[in-house]
Amino acid sequence: MSFKTEVIEKIAALMTVAFGLIAALAWNSSVQALFRELFGTQDNLSAMFGYAVLVTILAVLITIWIARISAKALQEEKKPE
């Protein structure tokens, strides 16, 4: 893989992460409002940790799923025709 291709791939990955962060920040207020609706105040420490653990587990599982799809696509792309 050429240096130029690697740079383009890394920039694309960073831009994707940046858009993901923007989307996460946009959802922040909505998630906080939902949390208050479901659990009362945001002072409920056990509920906050439970929510954080759930979101972390989901993020890890989705990241693994995306990595597998990406690896499969790269493998298919490299197959000689």
Q: What is the pLDDT along the chain (81 residues), one digit of tens a residue?
A: 788 888 888 998 899 899 889 988 888 888 888 878 887 776 677 877 888 888 889 989 998 998 899 888 878 877 776
Global confidence as pTM = 0.57
> What is residue 56's predicted lDDT score, i.e. its pLDDT?
87
For position 65, what pLDDT does the model report?
A: 92
Q: What is the pLDDT of residue 57?
A: 92
**Predicted local distance difference test score (pLDDT) of residue 42:** 61
Q: Which two tokens stand for residue 14?
A: 């960073």
DSSP 44: -
Q: How far apart are CA 30 and CA 38, in angstroms?
A: 12
